[in-house]
Amino acid sequence: MQYYALFVHMIEVGVMGASGYAGRELCRLIAGHPSLSLAFATAHEQRGESLALPGGKSVTFCAADDAPLSRAALVLSALPHGASRPSVEAANAAGARVVDLSSDFRPGHGADGGVPYGLTEVHRDAVRGAKLVANPGCYPTSILLALWPLLASGRLAPGTTIHASAASGVSGAGNSPKRELLFGEVSGNFRAYGVGNSHRHLPEMRATLQHFGADADLLFTPHLLPVTRGILATVTVPVTEIGDDPAALWREHYAGERFIEIAGTPPALSDVTHRNVARIFVQRVAHVRTPTLLILCAIDNLVKGAAGQALQNANLMLGLDEGAGLPV
Amino acid sequence: MQYYALFVHMIEVGVMGASGYAGRELCRLIAGHPSLSLAFATAHEQRGESLALPGGKSVTFCAADDAPLSRAALVLSALPHGASRPSVEAANAAGARVVDLSSDFRPGHGADGGVPYGLTEVHRDAVRGAKLVANPGCYPTSILLALWPLLASGRLAPGTTIHASAASGVSGAGNSPKRELLFGEVSGNFRAYGVGNSHRHLPEMRATLQHFGADADLLFTPHLLPVTRGILATVTVPVTEIGDDPAALWREHYAGERFIEIAGTPPALSDVTHRNVARIFVQRVAHVRTPTLLILCAIDNLVKGAAGQALQNANLMLGLDEGAGLPV
Amino acid sequence: MQYYALFVHMIEVGVMGASGYAGRELCRLIAGHPSLSLAFATAHEQRGESLALPGGKSVTFCAADDAPLSRAALVLSALPHGASRPSVEAANAAGARVVDLSSDFRPGHGADGGVPYGLTEVHRDAVRGAKLVANPGCYPTSILLALWPLLASGRLAPGTTIHASAASGVSGAGNSPKRELLFGEVSGNFRAYGVGNSHRHLPEMRATLQHFGADADLLFTPHLLPVTRGILATVTVPVTEIGDDPAALWREHYAGERFIEIAGTPPALSDVTHRNVARIFVQRVAHVRTPTLLILCAIDNLVKGAAGQALQNANLMLGLDEGAGLPV
Amino acid sequence: MQYYALFVHMIEVGVMGASGYAGRELCRLIAGHPSLSLAFATAHEQRGESLALPGGKSVTFCAADDAPLSRAALVLSALPHGASRPSVEAANAAGARVVDLSSDFRPGHGADGGVPYGLTEVHRDAVRGAKLVANPGCYPTSILLALWPLLASGRLAPGTTIHASAASGVSGAGNSPKRELLFGEVSGNFRAYGVGNSHRHLPEMRATLQHFGADADLLFTPHLLPVTRGILATVTVPVTEIGDDPAALWREHYAGERFIEIAGTPPALSDVTHRNVARIFVQRVAHVRTPTLLILCAIDNLVKGAAGQALQNANLMLGLDEGAGLPV
């Protein structure tokens, strides 16, 4: 048994908006990444506070103005929706590539035609080499990965409605103190919100359906689960035809994808938490006249639905191995 | 201030299959009922064990063969599906009226044309005076109460599909020790089951749709929540037309119903747990071409979805006030 | 079967500080009380909001200044510690008796020699007829009810230390939005707080020990449980002697008490939640040289530990049956 | 940036009793270990079932008789207490070193004078080179690591009693289906068990106190928490003297230990879950006559309290870096 010294050049990256659940997850994943080191982590209200990281490391949050932007080859922004744009543009102007986790640059949110939508498995080529990538929302990640093989192959029944009922852990709602997010309010409870197609993740899903030329409506109902992390999307889709093995289309489209699992049984949140994977199950629905598929997709909303996918995109943008530092 | 002595004749009732979650809830509700007293509670494996009841009372489970059937004016059976029929018939033969909480006599489960389906608000007249009532399943209670105004008024868009995605607390799965129901497996978790229209509650819902002449399919996906009790049904329905106030139809159909609440905001499980109510919210869905309603219905699966509705039916069958002993 | 009309004079009571967990529990218990009606419920920040109550009732919170104090025969104050005193004195001045749930008038908190400490089973005679009663804290209720038979009988080993390690559900910390009380922080978690004898409930326990002439120190460590309600106190006490049946002393002292249960097995929170009882278990400790007893006491922190005990005291002060309206 | 190929000889190890929570954790840690590979994993009832492992790996459980013992340089046994001894002896006889996670060879459990007790930080030298190591119980790990600096320095007040009140997540009770471990029984609940010094972890703690010549009794009360993993031990100890900085003794004794953290605030379970660390907090107790310390120690019962510490010991026995493959 012989060991060689291994010198690896570490690329410096920064995190903006690091004190929320997604921002903290970003810092933790970077701390365990073989080729990245954390140049800074900004957090306005919690500047001066320390965050413990794996391997005995830690980082102290700094104010946005004190971030050494020029040191970072890439910046990941977990700033709130609506507040991210100026900081993202400043980071780009300082020469850093940016992955933005807010909705500010996502499709359906205004006139940013040129910004790739970082649903990595779908838009990999556009992400590679991009200066700025709009990281998808957590719900859209689960629902669009469930639908993509149908969208790409044109097998959606035209003029129909896709139903997506999804449930998310509370970390998706952030860690700002609100009464409705207290343990006493969430524990033992369950409720829908953003009902009637009013959730802010709808536009990017509708824009993506349109991008693929899908002639279908989407009816999306999110729910709040009494769990910390994880999303399960329950999607039903009228299709033009169903063969004997409906999951075959998914296995084919996702062949070779290391972060997509096609499961033989309905996925549970516990199958995917703390992992950068989407676990998908497909089944024909019985007792309905219209040929219909049930597609279940489980992800960790903080990993594949946020920080993990953001790093997957960052890896591509930096020319690193796409899966570096990502838990599977 | 003057008090009168109040002598009330207590009617004796029995519970069969009393050791499960629904059976225990029945015993507790009977113990607090102003006109009922508990004659016996059977439980095969747990015979000899005591169950503490409100008001400092308790009951000791007896073997089925030791139940004094002849003492009971009415028997509530919470025996398992498939095992209830012989005991129910024996109780009827001994002269007791019966409310059966299993699926054995429900519509869609074989040739029991004459047994009323105890969805109280819908079939009240048939329940009153019946010798045997088939108490609905917990999921069907929530979904059919959500749909009834549409079914009764014929406003379902013909040839379409009703989507019902529902989530239940674990008490719906009973208290027999199974690995999948351990705290370590359920806590922090969420998953679908009975997928692809394979759940055993589907037949009674399909039979009820058919009973009302509805030309619609039903796509039902149940999920297991990490909570002890409660069901939320998220139902979407294409309809022939929607007025400015879609909830008006529900307020009208359920006017005067003390166990139905038409809510102005999406209901949470915490609004209904430990109560014999169904809380319903109705809203038009935006961004879809087909006029579609979202209907949310929350119940406590053990109360309005099982023991509470059973007692509501029992009250009617015994000529008592329908709401006697029922928590609102 | 014959019914008599029953006319009962309802006594009006008010609740101050009604929007917190204890205040809401007070309103709910009063709504179900056979002889009390709710004259008003104050809540500064949430004035104008409605609270649903059992039996289809509801109450709208009013500002403190708008409370019709003169209508209330008795006021229950769930105002915060330190803020209760002026309001309590105003209510007393307006002619209402008062049960104060804050620590402002409790023993050990300053010079209020005349205010009875409302540990009902211990100070019943002083409570009856009092104009103002200081309702005990939740932890002190569980720990002092566990200890009282030893205190009253003088069997504490002199010069020793009583160890009380206790754990409470989060409702004890109130429903003001704080990050440390978010579901994402509490779920799956457990921690001690108020460590090293620094918790604000210590003074009233020390004062009560002194009141009974106990020559013993108290070492109290509270913990925060990931549950909504319930307290379990684990108390160990060196004693002068232990007979063959150590629980006999507790059965004797609490004989006839309807809100005290002496259990044969260690109590669980689920034995006592939503009930106005203290469930106590006593056992000799093996493998120690000093004769030592383990005493476990479980209560619902919001009922026997707050609102329930407050109503128990209110019943006494108003000459009603002590247990009226209290869930057992 | 230049990469070298790195060839590492992987040492084969086996896991016996791999289907329980500790056994599964062992398999997962081995799958992520840089120098170990999993030769086999036995599970009697679940033979033939597959366990997914990190990095896309998996292992299929085999029957005990089919385990290729001779291939393994070391075997980790997570077999039940009382059932481990014969399998451990067979593995030793086949030439494998063994870390046994059961209580069969621990101090206080009979005449196995020669087997080192694998509390790594305390008995590191005895572990290194041992053929068989008895891995400590989860509660003893937390309590003895809290106490060790006092034991080693002889500062326990003589003739006194150490109080250890501890609470554990349900994974400590294993994953065999039992009613008391169902979600519906554990959720929202909390209770003590093994009360009065009757828990099976007491003997090894008493034996360790005796080993260090401590003249003190131990009073240990375990509790069941509604969480999946984690233990918090709340320990109070009369001591001979306390300086201004009571934690200094712990910092000194544990200097250089990478798996021990001396914290400045009370540790929470969330600080240690999924990590192989013990996080310790020390504070002087106020308002007591006897100089007394409060020591809090949090661990993950499945990692530092079981599988992680077992691998820490295995690393030492195999001459590897003590921390290889262990999450900090």
Query: What per-residue confidence (pLDDT) applies to D111?
Result: 57
Work out the minimum CA distance from B180 to partner chain D, whole angstroms: 8
Q: Which residues of C touch A179 (CB under 8 A)?
A: 175-177
| pLDDT band, residue B2 (cuts 50/70/90) | very low
pLDDT at C183 over 80: yes
pLDDT at D9: 81
Q: Say which of B191, B197, B232 has its CB closest to residue A232.
A: B191
CB atoms inside a 10 Å sphere around CB C158 = 10
B93 touches chain C (CB under 8 A): no
Instruction: For chain C, give the mean pLDDT.
Output: 94
Indicate which CATH number applies to the domain containing D195. 3.30.360.10
- Please report residues of D whose CB lies closer than 8 A to that of A55: 328
Pair (D294, D228) in one structural domain: yes
Q: How confident is the model at residue C112 (pLDDT cuts 50, 70, 90)?
A: low
Per-residue confidence at B235, pLDDT binned at 50, 70, 90?
Answer: very high
C7 has a pLDDT exceeding 80: no
Contact B266, A191 (CB under 8 A): yes
b/e for B145-172, b at 16 or more Cβ within 10 A?
bbbbbbbeeebbbeebbbbbbbbbbbbb
- Does residue C305 have a pLDDT over 60? yes
Half-sphere exposure of C313 (CA within 13 A, CB side): 34
Task: Reply yes or no on whether the pLDDT at C1 is more than 60.
Answer: no
Does the CB of A226 have a partner CB in chain C at under 8 Å? yes
Q: Read off the amino acid at residue D262.
A: I
Instruction: Using a CB–CB cutoff of 8 Å, tell me whether C243 touches chain B.
Output: no
Per-residue model confidence (pLDDT) at position D46: 94
Read off the amino acid at residue A205.
M
Q: Is residue D328 in some structural domain?
A: no
Establish if B323 belongs to a structural domain.
no
Question: Is B119's Cβ below 8 Å from some Cβ in A?
Answer: no
Question: Does B54 reside within a domain?
Answer: yes
User: Given pLDDT bands bounded at 50, 70 and 90, which one contains residue B154?
Assistant: very high
The 10s digit of each residue's pLDDT in B256-309 is 999 999 999 999 999 999 999 999 999 999 999 999 999 999 999 999 999 999
Residues of A in contact with B286 (CB under 8 A): 196-198
Same domain as C127, residue C257: no
Nearest to B55 among C54, C56, C328 (CB): C328
Distance, CA of A279 to CA of A261 (rounded, Å)? 5
Q: For C282-301, write each residue's pLDDT tens digit.
A: 999 999 999 999 999 999 99
Q: Which of C57, C262, C328 to mutate to test the interface with B (most CBs of B within 10 A)?
A: C328
- Residues of chain A short of pLDDT 70, as ranges, are 1-8, 111-112
Q: Does the predicted model carry a pTM greater than 0.90?
A: yes
Distance of CA B133 to the CA centre of its chain: 12
pLDDT digits (tens, 9 = 90+) for D209-249: 999 999 999 999 999 999 999 999 999 999 998 889 999 99
CA distance D298 to D277: 8
Tell me how many residue pairs between chain A and chain C have CB atoms under 8 A apart. 62
C199 to chain D, minimum CA–CA distance in Å? 11
Same domain, A156 and A274: yes
| Residue D103 to residues B327, C30, D52, D231, Cα–Cα distance (Å) | 50, 54, 28, 18
Residues 172-201 on C with a CB inside 8 Å of A are 175-179, 181-188
Closest CA to B2 of A106, A155, C4: C4
Cβ-proximal residues to A110 (8 Å cutoff; 6+ apart), any chain = none
**Is residue C85 in a domain?**
yes
B150 and B263 belong to one structural domain: yes
Would residue C70 count as lying in a domain?
Answer: yes
* 3-state DSSP percent of chain B in helix, strand and coil, to 5: 30, 25, 45
Between chains, do B3 and C6 touch, taking CB under 8 Å as contact? yes
For C80-136, give the DSSP string: PTTTHHHHHHHHHHTT-EEEE-SSTTSTTSSS-TTSPB--HHHHHHHHTT-SEEEPP
Domain identity same for B214 and B250 = yes
Query: Same structural domain for residues B47 and B128?
Result: yes
ipTM entry: 0.95
**Among candidates D35, D82, D31, D33, which has minimal Cα distance to D52?**
D31
Per-residue confidence band for C62, with pLDDT thresholds at 50, 70 and 90: very high
> Hey, is the C-beta of C286 within 8 angstroms of any chain B C-beta?
no
Q: Are residues D115 and D245 in the same domain?
A: no
For the stretch D41-51, pLDDT in tens is 999 899 999 99
Give all chains having 3 or more CB-to-CB distances under 8 Å with chain B: A, C, D
C26 inside domain: yes
> Under an 8 A CB cutoff, do A228 and C171 touch?
no
> What's residue B8's pLDDT?
65
What is the model's pLDDT at position C5?
Answer: 47
**Tens-place pLDDT, residues B99-115:** 999 999 999 987 557 89
Q: Where are the beta strands (DSSP E) in C242-315?
A: 260-262, 278-284, 292-299
D233: CB partners within 8 A, 6+ apart = D139, D142, D143, D146, D164, D165, D166, D295, D296, D297, D298
What torsion do the CA atoms of B46, B47, B48, B53 make, to the nearest 10 degrees? 70
Compare CB distances from D6 to A6, A188, A271 and report the shortest one's residue: A6
Asked if the Cβ–Cβ distance from A189 to B232 is below 8 Å, we say no
pLDDT level of residue C110 (50, 70, 90 thresholds):
confident
Q: What is the domain range of residue A130?
A: 11-136+306-317
Chain A nearest-CA distance from B188, in A, is: 5
Please state, as a whole number, how many other Cβ atoms lie within 10 Å of the Cβ of residue B327.
17
B146 shares a domain with B289: yes
| Residues D282-312: tens digit of each pLDDT | 999 999 999 999 999 999 999 999 999 999 9
User: B236 — contact with chain D (CB < 8 Å)?
Assistant: no
User: At residue D11, what is the residue type?
Assistant: I
Residue A43 sits in a domain whose CATH number is 3.40.50.720
Q: Tell me: do C69 and C204 sit in the same domain.
A: no
d(CA D121, CA D259): 9
Kindly report the nearest CA distance between residue B294 and chain A, in angstroms: 6
User: Which ranges in D51-195 belong to alpha helices (H)?
Assistant: 85-93, 120-127, 138-153, 183-186
Chain B environment of C327 (Cβ under 8 Å): 54
Return residues 295-314 of D near C (CB < 8 Å).
296, 298
Report how many domains make up chain D.
2
Residue C27 belongs to a domain: yes
- Residue A310 shares a structural domain with residue A285: no
Nearest to D169 by CA among A320, C157, C43, B182: B182
Q: Give the Cα separation of C59 and A59 in Å (integer).
A: 49
Whether residues B216 and B258 share a domain: the answer is yes
β-pair partners for B52:
B58
* Best residue of A6, A189, A229 to probe chain D, by most D CBs closer than 10 Å: A6
What's the rounded Cα separation, in Å, for the pair A105 and A115?
A: 7
| pLDDT band for position B7 (cuts 50, 70, 90) | low
Find the residue in A nearest to C176 (Cα).
A179
pLDDT score of C90: 96
What pLDDT digit, counting tens, does each position of D32-90 carry?
999 999 999 999 899 999 998 887 789 999 999 999 999 999 999 999 998 999 999 99
pLDDT of residue C93: 96
Residues A275 and A311: their CA atoms lie apart, in Å, by 13
Is D4 near chain A, with CB under 8 Å?
Answer: yes
Q: Which helix (H) or strand (E) holds C222?
A: strand C216-224
**Same domain for A175 and A115?**
no
List all residues 6 or more positions away from C294 whose beta carbon is below 8 Å from its beta carbon. C234, C235, C236, C282, C283, C284, C285, D195, D196, D219, D221
